[in-house]
Structure 1
Amino acid sequence: MRYAIVTETYPPEINGVALTVEGLAQGLRARGHSIDLVRPRQSGDGDAHQDALLVHGFPLPRYPGLRFGAPALRTLARHWNAWRPDAVYIATEGPLGWAARRVARRLRVPVATGFHTRFDHYMRDYGFGVLEPIALRWMRRFHNAGDATLVATRQLQDELAQHRFANPMRLARAVDGAQFHPAKRDARLRESWGAGDGTLVALHVGRIAAEKNLGLAIAAFRAMQRVRSGSKMVFVGDGPLRASLAQANPDIVFAGLRRGEDLARHFASGDVFLFPSRSETFGNVTLEAMASGVATIAFDYGAAREHLRHGQSGLRVPDGDAAAFITSATQLSVDDVGLRRMRVAARAGIEHLHPDQVAAQFDALLQMLANRRRIADAQLAPD
């Protein structure tokens, strides 16, 4: 089969969407399919790039290093007329995504869209709450023009159906259990943070930005410090709030962006993963923390609801209950026995999640859409 994947973010950019899309593309290639990747040109790209169509892009406000793709209607039409895909997956709702959806519809190529980002919730997080319903309508219009909207959880599938999204379908997520593993725990790295064997280390991995609700993570850590002196906190990632948070919290370690094995070492070297975000569609970092043997505290939605067993592999907090989040962090910080048990159970809880299973499901969904379109076209064809 020939599949096209359209995305406005892709590694080496570091974010959940980029890494998820990369995994899907790799999974389809491993299954023997031809993949046409369409994305904005990044710094360091040459004039040609194997298996990729590179288009112009422009900076994304407040997100240095990320770019929107230009609406390359003519380029896409010319390219897909010469290399017609059997199905298209559009991962992002930016100008490039809208253009790809339009060209695919014109060519009668089936389209699956990915619901990766809660732009409606971002309106609230950045002080534009009045625009939240407008953003939701804009997203619904985009996704309903496709043949299916792929989501990561049953909860989100139900929510979108209630908001009149036409055909939300669940595509599970997985985690690389070989890369993220408790064996990657590094005593020297912990020492560089000022943490010894008995020091409790709270960890946050992700973009350091308003939508991540990081004030609550810091409040929870300060409460942990009050009941367990000497505790440390480490932020892994970068973003627009990093400088101000670092200035206001000089005792917190800001480790910056980490990739690959270095990221795996940082994950495994923590003890408690504080994840207070309420704007995720899933939260890949939750699975990465679990795979690394780190007890997680998160709100009861997304990956936490799907995979975290409350009281066994971590703690799920009622969505939006900041006081309960802080209480959970303080309780866990003084329960060494429970913490050790949760760390073991967290790893065990992801053993069944294999990336090849996700690739197989993704392949089956795209093939289903392609078969539906072939049948519909055959019925419309003149005798």
Structure 2
Amino acid sequence: MRYGIITETYPPEVNGVALTVQGLELGLRERGHAVELVRPRQPTDAATTDATLLVRGAALPRYPGLRFGLPATRALRQRWQQARPDAIYVATEGPLGWSALRAARQLGIPAATGFHTRFDDYMRSYGAPWLQGTALRWMRRFHNGAQATLVPTRELQAFLTGHGFRNVVLLPRAVDTRAFHPDQRDAALRASWGLDAHALAVLYVGRIAPEKNLPLAVRAFRELQRIRPDARFVWVGDGPAREALQREHPDFIFCGVQRGEALARHFASGDLFLFPSHSETFGNVVLESLASGVPLVAFDYGATRELVRDGVHGAAVACDDEAGFIAATLRLGANDALREAMRTACREAVAALRPARVAEDFDQLLRSLAIGSPAHAASVLS
């Protein structure tokens, strides 16, 4: 089969969407399919190839290093008339994504979309809650222009279906449990953080940005520090809020963006992961923390609701219960024996998740769309 994947973001950009899309692409290639990737040109890119179509892009405001694709309907239509894909997957709702759906519709190419970002929740985080409804309607119009919309959790599937999104199909996520493993724990790395084997490393991994609800993580850590003065807060990632956070909290350790084995070492070298975000569609870092054997404190939705049992793998806190989040941080951070007992259970929570199975399911869904059966596509993954 010949598939097309259209995305506004892709590695070396570091975010959940970019890494998820790359995993889907590589999974299809490993299954023997021809895959054409369509994305904005990045500074390090050379020319378009048979496997990648590079289009014009522009910088994303407030997010240095990230770009969005400019409209490219004509270029996509010409490209696909010459080498027609059997089906396409559109991962992002930007101008490039809209262009891809428009060109596919004009040529009669079946399309699936991926719902990766809760832009309606982002409106609240960036001080414009009155735009939440508008954002949701805009996303519904986009995704209903495809034959299927892929989501990573049953919770999100039910939410979108209840708000008028059609043909919402569940495609679970997975994590490479060989790469993310407790054996990656690194005493030298912990020493560089000023920690010995018995001190407490509290982690945050992800975008350092307003929509991640980071002030709550800071409050929780400061409360924990009162009873665990040996604790250090280690931040892995980058984003528009980093500069102010680093200036206001000079004792925090900022490691910047980490990838691959380095990211796995940072995860496994931590003792407790704080994930205060309430705007995720999933949260890949939850899987990576569990695979690394690191208990976590997170709100009970997305990946946490799918995989985390409160009191077994960490704490799954009722959504928006900030006092509960802080209390759980204190309870887990103060009890070394409890966290140690959770480490094995964390690994077991993700042991059955295999990237190869996700690629197989993704392939079956696109194949079903290619033969003209959206209903069958939905039943394949049900």
Indicate the TM-score class for this superposition, using the shorter chain for normalisation.
Answer: over 0.9
Partner SS for 1:274: strand
| TM-aligned CA deviation for residue 374 of structure 1 | 11
Contact 2:10 2:19 in 1 (8 A): yes
Instruction: Note the alpha carbon deviations across 1:334-371, whole angstroms, 9 max, x for none.
Output: 22221001122111211100000000000111111111
| TM-aligned CA deviation for residue 269 of structure 1 | 0.4
Partner SS for 1:25: helix
Counterpart Cα distance in 1 of 2:208 and 2:253: 13
Match in the other structure for 1:56 = 56
Segments of 4+ moved more than 2 angstroms: none
Instruction: Note the alpha carbon deviations across 1:142-190, whole angstroms, 9 max, x for none.
Output: 0011101100000000000111101111001000111111000000110
Match in the other structure for 1:91 = 91
Partner amino acid, structure 2, of 1:271: D
Contact 1:110 1:370 in 2 (8 A): yes
| TM-aligned CA deviation for residue 48 of structure 1 | 3.1
Contact 1:235 1:256 in 2 (8 A): yes
1:336 partnered with 2:336: yes
Partner SS for 1:202: strand
Contact 2:182 2:292 in 1 (8 A): yes
State how 1:30-109 maps to structure 2 within 5 Å.
30-49=30-49, 51-109=51-109
Match in the other structure for 2:299 = 299
Partner SS for 2:112: strand
Contact 1:109 1:373 in 2 (8 A): no
Distance 1:82 1:50, change over 3 A: closer
C-alpha RMSD of matched pairs (Å):
1.1
1:273 partnered with 2:273: yes
State how 1:127-206 maps to structure 2 within 5 Å.
127-206=127-206
Counterpart Cα distance in 2 of 1:128 and 1:108: 38
State how 1:210-225 maps to structure 2 within 5 Å.
210-225=210-225
- The number of aligned residues is 375
Match in the other structure for 1:241 = 241
- Which of 215-224 and 47-56 deviates more? 47-56
| TM-aligned CA deviation for residue 49 of structure 1 | 3.7
Counterpart Cα distance in 2 of 1:75 and 1:243: 39
Partner SS for 1:349: helix
Contact 1:3 1:86 in 2 (8 A): yes
Counterpart Cα distance in 2 of 1:121 and 1:153: 17
Partner SS for 1:149: strand
Q: Normalising by structure 1, report the TM-score.
A: 0.96
Match in the other structure for 1:381 = none
Partner SS for 1:208: coil
| TM-aligned CA deviation for residue 50 of structure 1 | 5.2
Q: Structure 1: any 5+ residue segments left out of the alignment?
A: 376-383
Counterpart Cα distance in 2 of 1:97 and 1:199: 47
1:27 partnered with 2:27: yes
Q: Normalising by structure 2, report the TM-score.
A: 0.97
1:255 partnered with 2:274: no
Contact 1:110 1:373 in 2 (8 A): no
